[in-house]
Structure 1
Amino acid sequence: MPKFLTRLVPRRFRGSSVEIPVVRLNGTIMPESGGMFRSASLSLASVAAVLDKAFSDKAAPAVAISINSPGGSPVQSRLIYRRIRDLAEEKNKKVHVFVEDVAASGGYMIAIAGDEIIADPSSIVGSIGVVSAGFGFEELIKKIGVERRVFTAGRNKMMLDPFLPEKKDDVEHLKALQIEVHETFIDIVKERRGAKLTDDPDLFTGLFWTGVKAKSLGLVDGLGDMRSHLRSIYGPKTELNLIEPSRSMFGLRASPAGLHKSDTLAQAAAGATQGLISAIEEKTLWSRYGL
């Protein structure tokens, strides 16, 4: 019987097969942005409904999560990680995480929400660190003859403004913040991976490794692929049920955000500019791992 017809049959009549809900988390991790130029990135807002649906399957003993992400926002990474753990505990489900091309930085933070992490031997894993990147445009606006006018209350409101020269005090303040975020990341990794981790001095320096090396470091539990691994645990009749985002009547992914008639041309232009910057940031994150 074709698979799509099998799902129309009540589970009690399907025999001894086990169905595991699968959630694919693919992309950079960034806050949800509004407007028609929003990027297809990962955030709690974009994945919450899919995760809720996957964990709501009462008959499934576990949920499988496939991760392919070079990282991004540490806040969104932790929010997604926390939501997975909360649902796992609330619904009493085991979480199997499978790394595809990369689970680095925030992508790895999400991965450690799993009760076990399985990677491909050639997956890129790790990069337990914090990075902030930007651009300096102060010379550019001089060359094109643009005068920028900004009015603030508070002497630090223009800190790290890309249109102003970089200040030493501003950079030091940013680095202090990064250290705090990094320590939070390290604490989560130690809490989740515990005694599995080795005492390698490079473990929390931001370095990343292949799946093979990550296994020897204790960052992942094993090597393999989702279908084979889950069938080895739940039996040869195990079926994978991909949980996808809801779609509108036109086949587009439903989203609470959009460009409305009330949006002005200036807002649209700003959205296009932000979309371009986001695309550059995403490309930079992926290219760091050769992807």
Structure 2
Amino acid sequence: MSDEWNASTASNGDDKSWKLLEKTLLAGVQEQRRARRWGIFFKALTFIYLFGAIALFSPALNLQKSAARSANHTALIEVRGMIADQEAASADNVVGSLRAAFEDTKTKGVILRINSPGGSPVQSGYIYDEIRRLRAEHPDIKLYAVITDLGASGAYYIASAADAIYADKASLVGSIGVTAASFGFVGVMEKLGVDRRVYTSGEHKAFLDPFQPQKDEETRFWQSVLDTTHRQFIASVKQGRGERLKDTEHPELFSGLIWSGEQALKLGLIDALGNTSSVARDVIGEKELVDYTVKETPFDRFAKKLGSSVAEHIAIWAGFQGPALR
């Protein structure tokens, strides 16, 4: 009898311990759920606050820009970084900014502020042509290129379409040339004992394949493409700069070399030393600057990155990238 009572007491004690443990665990789970709910709530509140702030301040910023544009001003357009499709300095962005600046009746002059190593000859050519068209359409509005740190290759191509080019004495200017580069992996493939199998329906379809040996006739052909692009580049620069260039005295002017602003002035690559403020104040006569540069939002940049295909990057890596003005 005594043993049965002791067993029953022990069993009751175990049940109470398990119930207490169960309550403790349930309380912990409930606390975690409560903390998670509060965390979600505060995160949602933060997002709502941020989006609300953007919605609140965007009209104010637009109003401020509109107010600035209501008075006479100098239009400023930035050309910064690589000149390429889907980049900040793409032809679409720069051309859109140029049109907006020239079409504003309060614009008294346009400054194209350049800090770029160059890039696509196609994108640079689009911008060059549009500058010349807008200058002809709006003869009373002058466009001045101001090179800051770097105005090379495609960036100088664009600058040469301006009424005048300014730079700092230490700016890097020029590099009138064309380049196209890739890698050759033939030796590595042989060492690894790997065969490259390419099937094409054209004799020269895979002539830029870095895993196959180069052929003399294909190399000469590719060089002719680069030479043709180079001649187009030179012709555009000569058209834009005219007799200001000292190319007869300095034949290396179109060799791809790059000069300081001080040297570029002597070569006729630029017209004078100056900066954005001095050109707006002393040349255009309107020191008030209004920025017309197309500004991409983080969402725009993310969408572009997301939209870039893997195949495109593989093609570039494999050597199928086109010529670049650099």
User: Normalising by the residue count of structure 1, what TM-score does the alignment of the two structures yield?
Assistant: 0.77
Distance 1:10 1:125, change over 3 A: closer
1:204 shift after superposition: 1.3
Contact 2:169–2:273 (8 Å) recurs in 1: yes
Contact 1:245–1:253 (8 Å) recurs in 2: no
> Quick one: distance in 1 between partners of 2:161 and 2:303?
27
Identify the structure with the greater helix proportion.
2
What RMSD over aligned residues (CA atoms) do the two structures have, in Å?
Answer: 3.2
- Asked if 1:19 is matched to 2:73, the reply is yes
Distance 1:11 1:245, change over 3 A: closer
1:30-49 mapped onto 2 (5 Å cutoff): 30-32=84-86, 40=87, 42-49=89-96
Contact 1:28–1:42 (8 Å) recurs in 2: yes
1:87 shift after superposition: 2.1
1:141-160 mapped onto 2 (5 Å cutoff): 141-142=189-190, 148-160=196-208
With 91-100 and 118-127 compared, the bigger mean Cα shift is at: 91-100
Select 2:216's aligned residue among 164, 168, 172.
Answer: 168
Contact 2:173–2:258 (8 Å) recurs in 1: yes
Percent identity at matched positions?
Answer: 38
1:232 shift after superposition: 0.9
Distance 1:54 1:149, change over 3 A: farther
For residue 215 of structure 1, what is the aligned residue in structure 2? 265
> Quick one: distance in 2 between partners of 1:62 and 1:88?
11
> Quick one: distance in 1 between partners of 2:122 and 2:313?
24
Select 1:245's aligned residue among 294, 309, 313.
Answer: 294
Structure 2: stretches of 5+ with no match in the other structure: 1-60
> Quick one: distance in 2 between partners of 1:181 and 1:243?
31
- Asked if 1:29 is matched to 2:83, the reply is yes
Distance 1:87 1:234, change over 3 A: closer
Note the alpha carbon deviations across 1:182-219, whole angstroms, 9 max, x for none. Answer: 11111111111111111212111111100001000101
1:151 shift after superposition: 2.0
> Quick one: distance in 1 between partners of 2:193 and 2:96?
48
> Quick one: distance in 1 between partners of 2:196 and 2:73?
59
1:247 shift after superposition: 4.4
Contact 2:161–2:237 (8 Å) recurs in 1: no
For residue 12 of structure 2, what is the aligned residue in structure 1? none
> Quick one: distance in 2 between partners of 1:252 and 1:245?
14
SS at match of 2:173: strand
Select 2:157's aligned residue among 109, 113, 128.
Answer: 109
Q: Which residue identity lines up with residue 83 of structure 2 in the other structure?
A: I
Note the alpha carbon deviations across 1:37-86, whole angstroms, 9 max, x for none. Answer: xxx35331343322222222122122110111112222221111112222
For residue 238 of structure 2, what is the aligned residue in structure 1? 190
For residue 67 of structure 1, what is the aligned residue in structure 2? 114
For residue 54 of structure 1, what is the aligned residue in structure 2? 101
1:255 shift after superposition: 8.4
Q: Which residue identity lines up with residue 66 of structure 1 in the other structure?
A: R
Contact 2:82–2:117 (8 Å) recurs in 1: yes
Q: Which residue identity lines up with residue 223 of structure 1 in the other structure?
A: L
Structure with max Cα Rg: 2
Contact 1:24–1:66 (8 Å) recurs in 2: yes
With 105-114 and 80-89 compared, the bigger mean Cα shift is at: 80-89
For residue 282 of structure 2, what is the aligned residue in structure 1? 232
> Quick one: distance in 1 between partners of 2:179 and 2:69?
48
Distance 1:183 1:122, change over 3 A: same
For residue 306 of structure 2, what is the aligned residue in structure 1? 259
SS at match of 1:61: strand
Distance 1:75 1:243, change over 3 A: same
1:31 shift after superposition: 3.4
Q: Which residue identity lines up with residue 157 of structure 2 in the other structure?
A: M
> Quick one: distance in 2 between partners of 1:11 and 1:201?
45
> Quick one: distance in 1 between partners of 2:290 and 2:282?
17
> Quick one: distance in 1 between partners of 2:198 and 2:207?
13
> Quick one: distance in 2 between partners of 1:171 and 1:121?
39
SS at match of 1:259: helix
> Quick one: distance in 2 between partners of 1:135 and 1:222?
41
> Quick one: distance in 2 between partners of 1:22 and 1:212?
24
